[in-house]
Structure 1
Amino acid sequence: MFRTILLPGLALLTLPLLTACSDPPPAEPPPRPALVVQPQPATERVQSYPGEVRARIEPELAFRIGGKVSKRLVDAGDRVRRDQPLAELDPEDARLQLEAARSQVAAAQANLNLAQAERDRYRALLDRQMISSSQYDNAENSFRSAAARLKQARAEFDVAENHATYSVLRAPRDGVIARRSVEVGQVVAAGQTVFTLAADGEREVLFSLPEKSLAHLRIGQPVEVELWSRPEQRFAGTLRELSPAADPQSRTFAARVSFDTDQPNIETGQSARVFIRQADQVTLAVPLAAVTAEAGQSFVWVVDPENHLLQRRPVTLGAYHQDQATITDGLRPGDWVVAAGVHMLREGQQVVPVDRQNRQLDLDGE
C-alpha cells in the first residue's frame, strides 16, 4: 500500500526537475537591416576606344619616275611648305633621256626641211609637166610624214623635259611629314611611297573597332573625344568614316571621327580616346554588390514591399561597368533590390529596408 502511493509521488516530484533541465525553444532573430535600392534606368552605355589624332588629308607622296634617291631633304616630324623640295633622284638618267629627245627633235626637223624642199621642187616640175602627179603625191606624203615625225619628237622631248623635273619631289601643300619610307641610295619605283604628309587643316581621330561593335554604329553618329594631354576636357565629334573591310592582321575595322568645331591646338600624333554612347538592349542597372551567382545562374535579392521578405530573383546580365551591372531581363523598375551583404541572406528572410543614410524605408509608400 505504501509502495503504491510512493511511486506516483516520485513521478510528480521529478516532472518539474526534467522540465527545468530541458532547453527553451530558440527565439526567432529580429529582422536585420538591409540596404536596398531600386534599379536605375540604363538605356545607354558608353564604350571607349583608344585612338590617335591624324590629319583629315594625308597624301602618300611618291616620285612619278623611278630612280636612285640621291638626296633626302626632310625627315619625319618636319614641317614643310607648299612646293618645298623633299627628296631628289639621281638626275643623270633623266638628263640623258632629255638629250636623246632633243637630238630626236633636231633630226626630225632636218628631215622635215629636206622633205619640204623635195616637195617644193616636185611641185615646180609638176607645173612644168615634167613629172607625173603620182611622183608629186609621193613627195607630198613624205613631207607630211616628216611633219608628223617632228610633232612626235617634240612631244617626246616635252615628256623627257617633264621627267627631268620629276626627279625632285616637292610638297603639294603645307603640313608635317608624318612618315618617311626611304633612305639615300635606295632605288625606288615610280609611284612607290616616299613620304606621308599630314596636311594642315582639319584634324581627325583614327581608331579601331571590333567586329561586334559594328552593328551598333552608323556614319554621322555623335561621339565624344578626350585627349590624353587634356583629360578634363571632352570635344564633340562625329563618326565620319567606317571601313567596310577588316584589317587582315588585327581583324578590326578602322574608323575616323571628325571634330565638330575647329581645334587649332590639336596636333597629329596625340593620343586620344573616343567615347560612343549606344542606345541598345540594356534597360536597368544595379550596383555590382547586389549581384551574386550560384551554379552558373546570376540572381539578386528582391524585397517584398508588403512583408519585407526576401525573394531570390534570377536575372540576365548585360555588360559590367566600373560600379554597376546592367540587367537585361528579370527586374522591373519598381523592384527593391538588396545592394550589400547578399552572401549572408536566405530565401524568405525578413529584413528592415534602409537607405544609404541608414534611414528605414516604407516600401509601400515609395
Structure 2
Amino acid sequence: MSLSPSARLRVLLPVVLAAVLAGCSKPAPAPEPIRSVKVMTVGESAFGAAHEFAGEVRPRIETRVGFRVGGKIVQRQAELGQRVKPGQVLAQLDAQDFRLAADAARAQVTAAATNRDLAAADFKRFQALKDQNFISGAELERRETTFKAAQAQLEQAQAQLSSQSNQARYASLVADVAGVVTAIEAEPGQVVAAGAPVVRIAQDGPRDVVFSVPEDKVAAIKPNSPVAVRVWAGDSFDGQVREVAASADPVTRTYAVKVSLPANAQPPLGATAYVFPQALSMAGALVIKLPTSALRQEGQGTSVWVLDKGSMTVRSQPVQIATADGNEAVIAGGLQPGMLVVSAGVHVLQPGQKVRIYEEHATGLAPVATGPVPAGAVRPVATSK
C-alpha cells in the first residue's frame, strides 16, 4: 500500500538520525603500547673513588724579616726567588741619624771617663791625708762616694754607647737563616716602622702540604693520621697530618690542614699537590651504585623506577644520593639489594604503567624485545650480520 509523504517522513526520520549520529561518533582509542625498558638488579659493589683534596706545598717555617729600628730604606739587595745565606745583607736604612747618636754617646763616655779619673785621683789623695790624720773619716767617705758615682756614670755612658752602636748596625737587614726569598714587602724610598716586614724567607728544611677540608669532613682527620700525597710532577709521598686548624676560615668556612712530608721530600715551593686522607678513604667499601641514566628528578628530590616483576608495572621510589663514583651515583638510602630498577627510558614512564623487559643477546644478533606484542605492532626479527 502507498504511504502519504508525511508518513514516509515519520518512518525515514529515525533511520536518518541514527545514520547521522553513527557518522559523528568517535572511534574508541587504541590501547597504549607496552613500553620496553632496560632494568638492572640492585646489588652492592666495591667503592672505587677516594676523597681527594687539592693543596699547596709550603715551607715548614716561613719568616717575615724586618728592621729592628725604623727609618727610610735606601737600598734593597734581596730579590724575589734569590737564595740567601746567614749573614747576607738584604736591605739597608739611612743610618746617618744612628751614626750621629753613636758619636754623641761616644763623647759622653769620654766625658764620664774624665770625671771618673778626676774623682779617682781625689779619692787617692784624700786617702793619703787620712792616713796622716789630716782629715776626718767623713771627708774621706764623701770623696769615695763621689768616685763611685763617677764610675757609675761612666758605665752608664758606655752602655748608652753600646746601645747606639747596635742601633747603627740594625740599619742593615741581615739574613739569619738560609733559604729562599718568597716575597718582597717594601721598596727603596719607603719609610718603615720597627718590625715591619720587608722580606719573606722560606727556610731550608722540611716542607708541608696545606689543604682545606669542609666542616663535615674535618672531624675524621686527626693529627698524626697518615695521608698520601701526590704532586703535579707525579712524585708521591707518604705524609702525616701535623696540624688541624681549630677554627674555620671566615671567608671559605673550611678548615686548614697541614701535612708534613718526609725529610727527603723536597717538591718545589708553591707546587700543586693532591692529598688523599686515609681516614676518609672508602675504597673497597660495599655500596649500592646506579648509572645516572636511572635517576630522575621528582619535585625537590631524586627517585628511580622500581619494577614489580609480578605485575610488570613500575612505581616511583625516592632515593638519597651520597656521592659519585666515576660515572655512577652512590645511593645512600631508598633501595635494597635484589630490587629491579629501570636503567634507561625513565623519562617516558608513568606510575603503575605496564612495561616489558628489553634484553640484548650477546651472540652478535640484533636486540629482540620479549613479551606480548600489542595489536598492530610488529616484533623485530633477529638477523645475523
TM-score, normalised to structure 2, is 0.74
Which shifted more, 70-79 or 292-301? 292-301
User: Who is 1:243 aligned against?
Assistant: 245
Check whether the contact 2:41–2:338 (CA below 8 A) recurs between aligned residues.
no
The match for 1:62 among 53, 62, 66 is 66
Q: What does 1:259-274 align with in structure 2 at a 5 Å threshold? A: 259-260=261-262, 262-264=264-266, 266-274=267-275
- Summarize deviations over 1:189-231 as a string: whole Å, max 9, x none: 1111011101222222233444454334322333333333x2x
For 1:104, give the aligned amino acid: Q
The match for 1:317 among 317, 321, 339 is 321
Q: Which segments of 5 or more consecutive residues in structure 1 lack a partner in the other structure?
A: 1-21, 361-366
Is the alpha carbon distance of 1:78 and 1:52 closer, same or farther for their aligned partners in structure 2, counting shifts above 3 Å?
Answer: same
Is the alpha carbon distance of 1:76 and 1:24 closer, same or farther for their aligned partners in structure 2, counting shifts above 3 Å?
Answer: closer
For 2:106, give the aligned amino acid: R
Check whether the contact 1:76–1:177 (CA below 8 A) recurs between aligned residues.
yes
Offset at residue 256 of structure 1 (A): 2.1
The match for 1:40 among 38, 45, 48 is 45
The match for 1:219 among 218, 223, 227 is 223
Check whether the contact 2:51–2:281 (CA below 8 A) recurs between aligned residues.
no
Which shifted more, 218-227 or 306-315? 306-315
RMSD: 3.5
The match for 1:300 among 297, 304, 320 is 304
Check whether the contact 1:65–1:191 (CA below 8 A) recurs between aligned residues.
yes
- Summarize deviations over 1:227-260 as a string: whole Å, max 9, x none: 33x2x55433233222324445555443322224
User: Who is 2:379 aligned against?
Assistant: none
Check whether the contact 1:308–1:353 (CA below 8 A) recurs between aligned residues.
no
User: Who is 1:363 aligned against?
Assistant: none
CA distance in 2, matches of 1:334, 1:355: 20
CA distance in 2, matches of 1:224, 1:250: 24
Is the alpha carbon distance of 1:112 and 1:39 closer, same or farther for their aligned partners in structure 2, counting shifts above 3 Å?
Answer: same
For 1:74, give the aligned amino acid: A
Is the alpha carbon distance of 1:204 and 1:333 closer, same or farther for their aligned partners in structure 2, counting shifts above 3 Å?
Answer: farther
Offset at residue 268 of structure 1 (A): 1.0
Matched, 1:188 2:192: yes
Matched, 1:91 2:65: no
Offset at residue 60 of structure 1 (A): 0.9
SS at match of 1:194: strand
CA distance in 2, matches of 1:357, 1:311: 29
Offset at residue 355 of structure 1 (A): 8.8
Alignment coverage as a number of residue pairs: 335
- Summarize deviations over 1:243-292 as a string: whole Å, max 9, x none: 3244455554433222246223x211223343445269995433222222
Check whether the contact 2:227–2:238 (CA below 8 A) recurs between aligned residues.
yes
Offset at residue 168 of structure 1 (A): 1.5
Matched, 1:332 2:336: yes
SS at match of 2:69: coil
Offset at residue 71 of structure 1 (A): 0.8
Check whether the contact 1:85–1:168 (CA below 8 A) recurs between aligned residues.
yes
SS at match of 2:112: helix
Check whether the contact 2:39–2:341 (CA below 8 A) recurs between aligned residues.
no
CA distance in 1, matches of 2:292, 2:38: 19
Offset at residue 87 of structure 1 (A): 0.8
SS at match of 2:86: coil
SS at match of 2:161: helix
Matched, 1:73 2:77: yes
Offset at residue 318 of structure 1 (A): 2.4
Offset at residue 112 of structure 1 (A): 1.2
Which shifted more, 248-257 or 196-205? 248-257
Offset at residue 61 of structure 1 (A): 0.8
Check whether the contact 1:282–1:327 (CA below 8 A) recurs between aligned residues.
no
Larger Rg: 2
Matched, 1:156 2:157: no
Is the alpha carbon distance of 1:198 and 1:216 closer, same or farther for their aligned partners in structure 2, counting shifts above 3 Å?
Answer: same
Offset at residue 306 of structure 1 (A): 7.4
Matched, 1:290 2:294: yes
Matched, 1:131 2:135: yes
- Summarize deviations over 1:66-108 as a string: whole Å, max 9, x none: 1211110021111222221111111212211221221122122
Check whether the contact 2:57–2:208 (CA below 8 A) recurs between aligned residues.
yes
Is the alpha carbon distance of 1:301 and 1:63 closer, same or farther for their aligned partners in structure 2, counting shifts above 3 Å?
Answer: same
User: Who is 1:172 aligned against?
Assistant: 176
For 1:258, give the aligned amino acid: S
- Summarize deviations over 1:138-171 as a string: whole Å, max 9, x none: 2112222222222222222222222222221122
SS at match of 2:246: coil
Check whether the contact 1:282–1:318 (CA below 8 A) recurs between aligned residues.
no
User: Who is 2:13 aligned against?
Assistant: none
Q: Which segments of 5 or more consecutive residues in structure 2 lack a partner in the other structure?
A: 1-26, 369-385
Check whether the contact 1:39–1:332 (CA below 8 A) recurs between aligned residues.
no
Is the alpha carbon distance of 1:312 and 1:295 closer, same or farther for their aligned partners in structure 2, counting shifts above 3 Å?
Answer: same
CA distance in 1, matches of 2:32, 2:94: 101
CA distance in 2, matches of 1:282, 1:62: 56
